[in-house]
Structure 1
Amino acid sequence: MQTNDGRIVIISGKSRSGKTVYVSRRTKSDRRIFAWDPEDQWSKERGYQRVTTRAELARMADKPGQMRIAYVAASNLKDEFEFFCKCAFHWGRFHGGGVVIAEELADVTTTAKAPDGWGILIRRGLKRGITMYCISQRWAEADKTAFGNASEYVCFMSASADDVAYLCRKTRIPQSDLDGLLPLQYIRFEPGQPLERGKIKF
């Protein structure tokens, strides 16, 4: 049986290291995107519709076709993220897959088992054609379910030695490679493939 599987892409790196720009460029040609946007930055990207209420998000999740949604939640982030994930799964499951972007995951997940809605999205979304870009400054403080099920890892400059040590242990990328990253430089690793090095250019 053929399936149109999605991917889980882990993006790590300190603030202002290039994570969001990288994902924006990777998803440039995608026309179906649900973005969790606590910093209100994806809403300013070209082609995105800014959504601020649950009612509006639920309506968008029940529509087929092309759309780029940026959900900007003002408070109760963990509760709002849970609702966002349930909407994103419904949207992808019933309307043909798509891309989900989840920013600042350490704010809404922990190192324990993934919360209900996010866990369902991670575990069941792939075979429904949902590709997830999972973004966090510090993966040592974020969701291990996403990290452990990743299709690929993209590592930008880390904020601390502890962050580097965690990434090395989990991905087996050599510490010397991660320590040597400069601002806007990254290493992309897909298990079974050679390391890919790059730099964001403006």
Structure 2
Amino acid sequence: MVSNPRINEAAEKDIRGYFGSSGSGKTHHIKQDIAGEKRVLVFDPEGSFTAVDGFKVVESRAEFLEIAKNTGPVKLCFAAGGQANFNWFCDVVFALADARRPCVMVVDELGGVTGAGKAKGAWYDLVSRGRKYGVKIRAGAQRPSEIDKTLIGNKNGLFIGYLERMGDIEYIHKETGIPIDTLKSLRGKPHYDCIKFAGRDRWKLEKGA
């Protein structure tokens, strides 16, 4: 069998979820975490990633594809929303994925384009198989209970900010083992309390001012 040069079976998984209600600081933390990355492709329906953050922002599929095909460093944001655009974005990221030039894929407001069941299409491929193609994933959502189980099951890192709904608090407690009282204690803007999680019983509470 001929080996696929795009694949590195030894590549480590790096899938992180950022969960919190509006004003919890999740997008800020995504930006912090990707600051030193050389190749970043972003799906951004809310206009959160801008030229100020170092991104080339485009609305055209053709322009996004042309720039994304560049094999050198790139920080590129697809400023679009909707299921069709998300599906297309995922198709492009997976088609271009190559472990020889690792890429960070960012999806902001994931809850708008996935449901609570199994992930679908190229998004499923990226979450379940992207590791060996050099794809790292950073996905943000306001309500973790509403996003796909494929991401939840494959994550190996979490940022958890203020959660407004008890259903989401209970969901995160069930998934991580973090005590409900600790999750309920998180405050949003202007305090920006958060929990950083890297595996069961491996979490750190950070309280703001």
TM-score by structure 1 length? Answer: 0.91
Q: Which runs of 4 or more aligned residues in structure 1 lie more than 3 Å from their structure 2 counterparts after TM superposition?
A: none
Aligned to 1:194: 202
Indicate the SS of the match to 1:20. helix
Aligned to 1:28: 35
- What's the CA shift for 1:134? 1.2
Aligned partners of 2:99 and 2:132 also within 8 Å:
no
Aligned to 2:166: 161
Find the aligned partners of 1:113 and 1:38 in 2 and give their Cα distance: 22
Find the aligned partners of 1:61 and 1:6 in 2 and give their Cα distance: 22
Matched AA of 2:205: R
Most deviating of 99-108 and 169-178: 169-178
TM-score by structure 2 length? Answer: 0.88
What is the Cα-based RMSD across aligned positions, in Å?
1.9
Aligned to 1:131: 136
Name which of 9, 13, 17 aligns with 2:24.
Answer: 17
Aligned to 2:4: none
Indicate the SS of the match to 1:14. coil
The gaps in structure 2 that reach 5 residues or longer are 1-7
Indicate the SS of the match to 1:93. coil
Find the aligned partners of 1:42 and 1:142 in 2 and give their Cα distance: 21
Aligned to 1:78: 83
Aligned to 2:11: 4
Q: 1:72 to 1:200 in 2, by over 3 A?
A: farther
- What's the CA shift for 1:106? 0.8
Identity %: 27
Number of residue pairs matched by the alignment: 199
Aligned partners of 1:157 and 1:181 also within 8 Å:
yes
Aligned to 1:38: 45
Alignment of 1:93-132 (within 5 A): 93=98, 96-132=101-137
Q: 1:71 to 1:172 in 2, by over 3 A?
A: same
- What's the CA shift for 1:192? 5.0
- What's the CA shift for 1:19? 0.3
